[in-house]
């Protein structure tokens, strides 16, 4: 997922919760890039397309995880530990939590990458 997709998806969660309007979310997004021109604000259509791309990436990632579980490439216990670390949602991780998260992620990736 790109930085812009992450920003857009995060703000879209706020739109869905009724915290902000769609137009405001689009205006908060990183400016778009146009060849040879300065960066311009994102249109609502471009913003929503970016949200759609981010949602599709999340969906594809979840399917990948399910397939990896089914194949036995990832153990459910390892995945559960990883999800427990990030289960708080969009909160910031303390330095201790970030360190623990990095260790579990590294262990999980070490088991996956043969």
- 7-48 residue pLDDT tens: 899 899 999 999 999 888 888 876 655 555 566 677 889 899
How much is the pLDDT for 50? 92
User: What is d(CA 99, CA 86) in angstroms, rounded to the nearest whole number?
Assistant: 12
User: What is d(CA 80, CA 75) in angstroms, rounded to the nearest whole number?
Assistant: 9
How much is the pLDDT for 113? 58
HSE of 102, CA atoms in CB hemisphere, 13 A: 7
Q: Is the pLDDT of residue 59 over 90?
A: yes
Tokens standing for residue 100: 């623990």
Q: Is the dihedral of CA 52, 55, 59, 60 positive or negative?
A: positive
Closest among 108, 41, 34 to 76, alpha carbons compared: 108
Residues whose CB falls within 8 Å of the CB of residue 39, separated by 6 or more in sequence, listed in order: 31, 32, 33
């Amino acid at each position: 997922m790109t930085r812009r997709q992450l920003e857009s998806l995060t703000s879209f969660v706020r739109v869905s919760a009724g915290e902000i309007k769609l137009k405001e979310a689009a205006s908060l997004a990183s400016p778009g890039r146009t060849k040879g021109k300065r960066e311009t604000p994102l249109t609502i259509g471009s913003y929503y397309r970016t949200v759609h791309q981010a949602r599709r990436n999340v969906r594809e990632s979840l399917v990948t995880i399910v397939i990896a579980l089914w194949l036995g490439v990832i153990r459910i216990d390892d995945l559960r530990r990883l999800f427990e670390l990030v289960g708080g949602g969009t909160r910031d991780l303390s330095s201790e939590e970030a360190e623990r998260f990095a260790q579990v992620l590294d262990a999980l990736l070490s088991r996956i990458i043969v």
